[in-house]
Structure 1
Amino acid sequence: MMNFFDLPESCYYGRLIPKNSFDKYTSTKQKKMLTDVVSRMSWTHKLAPYTINLSGKHIVELQVIQIELKRKKNIADILSVIDKSVPYSIVFVVKFGDEVFVSATVKHVNPNSTDSCVLDWTFKSDWFLIEDFEIVMNLRGSLDFVFFDLCKQLSPFASVAEDSLVDLVSKTSIFSKLDKEVKRLRAAVNSCKQFNRQVELNLELLRAEEEMRNLVIEGN
């Protein structure tokens, strides 16, 4: 198990997670994905007041879970299942061969069921080479800061000087919607055969791209 974030030995947990640990929360399709796609799941580190001497108001504990895949595949459903079933914040490092991606979800306890969590927003990186791993955990201030700072690194607003996690989720959500709209409009422009309609689509595209730029400028 690799210590991707170079965390202190006091945080090391090193427990393998049986795939059937989440049977209560998984569908038949998700169980099959766990079997067919996931090679191993390891709970590698635990950040808490008694392991790192940092506490938090909203983040009581921060867990690091590494998942190794048999093949490169989108396992967002599996990560969501784990996140919903664990009451603490989790940073996932998903590995396939010499590539990884990092994912962290903002969540809160389900008011109608203390046995599960509601997922508010997931911050995640693209796949990248392990040798290029530059995401860090800045262990200072509080666990709230550690988690917020890591989420910033996984967002389009990594250089924000001061902000709140709520604002970061809001800005990233808006950015994500604009990004999807820009991609949709680009595809529509490329496939459109009518000149007048192509002009209209191009104008819409320019407006959406400008909104994205402005959002990043305001956020940074």
Structure 2
Amino acid sequence: MLGLPKTTEFNKRIPKQKFYENLTVPSELKRVFIDQIKVIYWRNKIATTTVNLAAGETVTEIEVFEIKLSAPQLDVAVLKQIDKEIPYHILFLLKYEGKYQAWTAYKEEAGSGANAFKVGTYYHTNWLVESELPLKIDGLNIDKVYEDFVRQIADDALQTDSEESLKASVEKDERRQQLQKQIASLQAKVRKEKQLNKQIQLNGELKKLKNELHLLERT
């Protein structure tokens, strides 16, 4: 898939129950796997053993999973559960009626050992035919290829003219999203507030948040 070298092809079907048979998985999430997913394929494995790339310092392998859906929506909790179960970085390709969405999240080791990972915000493309997916291997090592995959999928959300790291870009974007939500919430409170002194207080808080957002978007 994605024009990746044949040496990366794995094409192994993974029983979806593998990801929810654990007794600690909530029954609601099990139902999502059953209702929303038809089948899961492990399509490609990008690693030093399958492609001519140097090893990465933080990313050892990138797995490409194709998930065929029953409907054009998937609960993001499903992707989080799969990411928790697989101790490698994953590029998800959701397929529905011949079109694809590419999904991935910034994923890093939790530092607690036992192959534990922290999974951040998920980014995704629009629905596209496979040939239009904005994904290409670009870089000399696995770290760089993974970073470019995330930036390609996130598009404008993570593009930067500086040399900042992917982690810094993701943290900035997460803060931007948080500020936008806080601003929207405060604006709604201002509209509902009847007391003038309370309106002034809320507007002061709103101005601070808008200033922080403005400065963040300029960096």
Same topology, TM > 0.5: yes
Answer with 157-166 or 53-62: which moved more.
Answer: 157-166
Secondary structure of the 1:44 match is strand
For 1:15-26, list aligned pairs within 5 A. 15-22=12-19, 23-24=21-22, 26=25
Matches of 1:49 and 1:173, distance apart in 2 = 31
The answer on whether the counterparts of 1:185 and 1:201 sit within 8 Å (CA) in structure 2 is yes
Aligned to 2:126: 128
34 and 133 in structure 1: CA distance in 2 versus 1, 3 angstrom threshold: same
Matches of 1:7 and 1:203, distance apart in 2 = 53
Deviations 1:95-148 (A, max 9, x none): 334462522231315626x2x5232413312x6231494532333221111112
The answer on whether the counterparts of 1:152 and 1:168 sit within 8 Å (CA) in structure 2 is no
Secondary structure of the 1:35 match is helix
Structure 2 length as normaliser, TM-score?
Answer: 0.81
144 and 81 in structure 1: CA distance in 2 versus 1, 3 angstrom threshold: same
Aligned to 2:5: 8
13 and 99 in structure 1: CA distance in 2 versus 1, 3 angstrom threshold: closer
Name structure 1 gaps, 5 residues minimum: none
Secondary structure of the 1:106 match is strand
Alignment length (residue pairs): 211
Question: Percent of pairs identical after alignment?
Answer: 24
The answer on whether the counterparts of 1:87 and 1:109 sit within 8 Å (CA) in structure 2 is no
Name structure 2 gaps, 5 residues minimum: none
Matches of 2:150 and 2:137, distance apart in 1 = 11
The answer as to 2:215 corresponding to 1:214 is: yes
Matches of 1:200 and 1:56, distance apart in 2 = 50
The answer on whether the counterparts of 1:15 and 1:43 sit within 8 Å (CA) in structure 2 is yes
37 and 158 in structure 1: CA distance in 2 versus 1, 3 angstrom threshold: same
Secondary structure of the 2:118 match is strand
Matches of 2:10 and 2:78, distance apart in 1 = 21
The answer on whether the counterparts of 1:61 and 1:89 sit within 8 Å (CA) in structure 2 is yes
